[in-house]
Chain A
Amino acid sequence: MKDMATAPLLDIRDLHVHFPVGGQFLSRNKRTLHAVAGVNLSLAEGECLSIVGESGCGKSTTALAVMGLQEPTSGDILFEGGSIIGADAPDRMARARIAQMVFQDPYASLNPRQTVWRSLAAPLRLHGTTAKSEIEDRIADILQKVDLRPEHAARYPHEFSGGQRQRIGIARALILNPRILMLDEPVSALDVSVRAQIINLLLDLQEELSLSFVMISHDLGVVEHMSDRVAVMYFGQIVELGPWSAIFANPTHPYTRKLIATIPDPDTVLHPDRKVTAHAAPEPPEGYRFHPETVGRPDVYAAPEPSELVEIEPGHFIRAQRR
C-alpha cells in the first residue's frame, strides 16, 4: 500500500479469527474454522467503507473484532495509530468513544424493558455526564438529529415501528459522539420505503457530524449508493478492494463479478446490456492468476493458500496468486 502522511483513522492489520470446531472431549477430529484469514483494511476520516459478501464470509466477525466483541486470533487493529486490542488496548470507556454499532434487527437491538430515555441516558451517566439538564439536552438533541421527537423518549421500544426503532438504535450509537459508526446490515431488515429513509438519514448524519462509516452488507444496491470504498470478502479473505466506482464499473475478480451478476435488479430487465457483467470478464494481471480462480466451496478448515492483493489500478486491488 501507499504510504500515508498520517495514520489512518482505523487500520486492521493481518486480522485472523479462528474458531475451533468439533472440540468434543477427547475427540480426534478437532478442526479450525478460518472465519477471518488475514484481513488488511484501513478507514480514512470521513469515509464510508463497505465490506460485502455472503453469509459466512467473515464480514460480521471482522466487525465484531473491531468492536472488541470478538477476540482476534492474531493481527492488530489500530485507531489513529494506537492498538485497540491486546495488552495496550484502551479501557472499555475509552473504547466506547471510538466506535459504536448499529445493528441489523431493529426488534432485537433495543432492550424491551427500557424506555428510550433510559437506553440513552445510561451510557451518558456511565461516561460522566451527571447533570440532569445536560442529559436532557443531549437526548433531545440526538433524537432531533435522527428525526424523532423529544416526547418519544418516554416510550418503550414496542411502541415504535421498525424504522423508528432503527432511528433509536442510531441515536444510541451516536450518544457518546463516537468517531466511527459500524453499520451491520443497517437496512436489510426494513421495507423499501423505510430503507430509503434510513439510508438518507445515515448520509445526512455522516455529513453533519463528519462521521466515518464501516458498513457490513450483502445488498450491493445499498453499498453502491452509500460507499466511498468497497471490500469484497469471500471465505475469510478480501478478494477485491477499491473505490466504489472501480468495483461497480470494473469488477475484476470472478467472485465480485458473480455477486454483481446475481443481484436481481430491475434495471437488468430494462437495459440488459448495461450491466457490467454482461461484458467479457477481464484478464488477471500479467504473471498472476485470480485467487480463488473459480467460485465454489473452498475448504474453510484448511489454512488458505498463499496469495496476495495485487493493485491493478490506483487503489483497486484483487486477490491473485503468482503463476
Chain B
Amino acid sequence: MTPLLELKGLHVGIPARRGNVDIVTDVGFSILEGEAFGLVGESGSGKSLTALSLIRLLKKPLKVTAGQILFKGEDLRALSDREMRKLRGARIAMIFQEPMTALNPLKTVGRQIAEMFVLHQGKSWAEAERLAIGALADVQVPAPEERVRAYPFQMSGGMRQRVMIAIALACDPDLLIADEPTTALDVTVQDEVLKLIAQLCSARGTAVLLISHDLGVIANMCQRVGVMYSGRLVEERDTYDIFADPQHPYTKGLLGALPRLGSRHGEGGRQRLVDIDSLITDKASLLQEFYHEPRHKIRDPRVRAGGAA
C-alpha cells in the first residue's frame, strides 16, 4: 500500500551561504490513506514548521532545505505555485488553533464555506450556498439555515472551529492538517470538536495529521504518533505502544512529566513529576537515537481508531 503522504529526510531552515541553519532536521514519516497521525512535541520542537513546510506555507526566511514531500507519489516541492494553490484546500486542507483569525470577519460563514465550492469545484454561487448549509449541518451547527448568514464574531469559539472544519472538509480533501485545533477551547467543547473531526474524517476516509502539545489529545485521536524534540523526530510508533512502553528517553521523560489523571490513586502522597532537563545530560547523542517500529499489519483493537471507530 503506498502511503498518502510520505516525508523523506525533511530539513527546514534558513538558507545561508556558509551552510544552512536547520531548525527541522531529517524528519521522515508517512501517513496512510484514512489514517490519523499525530505529531507531538513542546513549543519550538518543529512540529508546526513540519506541517507548514508540507503545504509550502513557510514564512521567509525559512525554507525546506532538503528532503522529499511525496503526496500520492508526487513531490510537492516540484510543483509550481499555481498547482500548489489548487491542491491546497481541495486535496490538503488545514485548520488552525485560533479560528477567529483564520476566518474573515467581514463575510458570513455561509459565504466563506460557499467560496470553497466555487473556487475548487466550479459550482455556481446559488448552488454553493445551498451546499454550505449542508456543510454546516455536517459539522453539527444547530439551525444551519439561519447560521449561514451569521458572521464569525456572532459565534462562540467552539462554533467558529466547527465552521473552520466545514470549510476545510468542504471539498472532501484526502488529508486534513489540524494544528492545535482545540488548544483555545474549554475541555468539554474540545471533546465535542475532537469527536467531530474524528467522526467526519473516518466517515469520509480523510487522513489526519494532528499537531498538538497535548499528549492526551494525540492519544485519543491518532493511530500512530511521532514525537518531536529539538527539530527531530525521536520516536515514531503505534499509539498504544508509545504510551504503554515508551522507548526514547525524551518520550519517557515527557510521559513522566505529565500529571496524569488517576496517577495519584493508591499512593496518596503528592509525587514529584519527572524533570526532563535533569534527565538530559547529553543532548547531542540523545538526538541521534530514533525509535521507529514497522507498522502492525493488523491494528491493535485497543486503540480507538480515530477516536470514533
The residues of A with any CB-CB pair to B shorter than 8 Å are 54-55, 191-193, 195-197, 199-200, 203-204, 218-222, 224-226, 244-245, 248-249, 258-270, 272, 274-276, 295
Contact = CB atoms under 8 A, between A and B. Distances in A.
A248 B262 contact: yes
Contact of B191 (A197, A200, A218, A264): A264
Contacts of B68: none
B220 interface: yes
A236 B274 CA distance: 36
Contacts of B271: 225
26 contacts: A191-B213, A192-B254, A192-B258, A193-B275, A193-B276, A196-B257, A196-B259, A204-B272, A219-B259, A222-B259, A224-B261, A225-B259, A225-B264, A225-B271, A248-B262, A258-B188, A259-B187, A262-B188, A264-B194, A264-B217, A264-B219, A265-B260, A266-B260, A267-B261, A269-B219, A275-B262
The interface residues of chain A, by DSSP majority, are classed as helix
A269 B304 contact: yes
B29 interface: no
A263 B262 CA distance: 12
Contacts of B43: 191
Nearest to A198: B273
Contacts of A276: 262
A248 B260 contact: no
B220 A193 contact: no
Contacts of B256: 196
Contacts of A191: 42-43, 213
Nearest to A54: B186
Contacts of B257: 192-193, 195-196
Contact of A196 (B187, B243, B273): B273
Nearest to A203: B270
B26 interface: no
Interface in B33-92: 42-43
A193 B254 contact: yes
B264 A269 contact: no
A266 B258 contact: yes
Contact of B214 (A196, A226, A262, A264): A264
Contacts, number: 132
Given A193-B277, A262-B190, A248 B261 contact: yes
Contacts of A269: 219-220, 239-240, 243, 302-304
Contact of B259 (A221, A244, A245, A275): A221
Nearest to A207: B270
A24 B240 CA distance: 56
Nearest to B191: A262
Contacts of A199: 259, 273
B101 to A, nearest CB: 18
B216 interface: yes
Contact of B270 (A192, A218, A225, A266): A225
B220 A268 contact: yes
Interface of B: 42-43, 186-191, 194, 213-217, 219-220, 239-240, 243-244, 253-265, 268, 270-277, 302-304
Contacts of B304: 269, 272
Contacts of A270: 240, 243-244, 302
Contact of A193 (B42, B187, B217, B265): B42
Contacts of B253: 193
A54 B184 CA distance: 12
A218 B213 CA distance: 16
| Nearest 3 Cβ contacts at the A-B interface | A264-B216, A196-B257, A262-B191
Given A225-B270, A266-B216, 15 more contacts: A193-B257, A195-B259, A225-B263, A226-B270, A259-B187, A260-B261, A262-B191, A263-B216, A264-B220, A266-B258, A269-B239, A270-B240, A270-B244, A270-B302, A272-B304
Nearest to A264: B216
B174 to A, nearest CB: 26
B211 to A, nearest CB: 14
Contact of A265 (B188, B244, B254, B261): B261
Contacts of A248: 261-262, 264-265
B302 to A, nearest CB: 7
B154 to A, nearest CB: 16
Nearest to B254: A192
A272 B272 CA distance: 25
B216 A200 contact: no
Contacts of A272: 302, 304
Nearest to A295: B188
A263 to B, nearest CB: 6
Nearest to B255: A266
A196 B215 CA distance: 14
Given A260-B261, A265-B260, A269-B302, A203 B272 contact: yes
B261 A220 contact: yes
Nearest to B242: A266
Contacts of A268: 216, 219-220
B260 A197 contact: no
A200 B273 contact: yes
A184 to B, nearest CB: 16
Contact of B219 (A249, A266, A295): A266
Contacts of B219: 264-266, 268-269
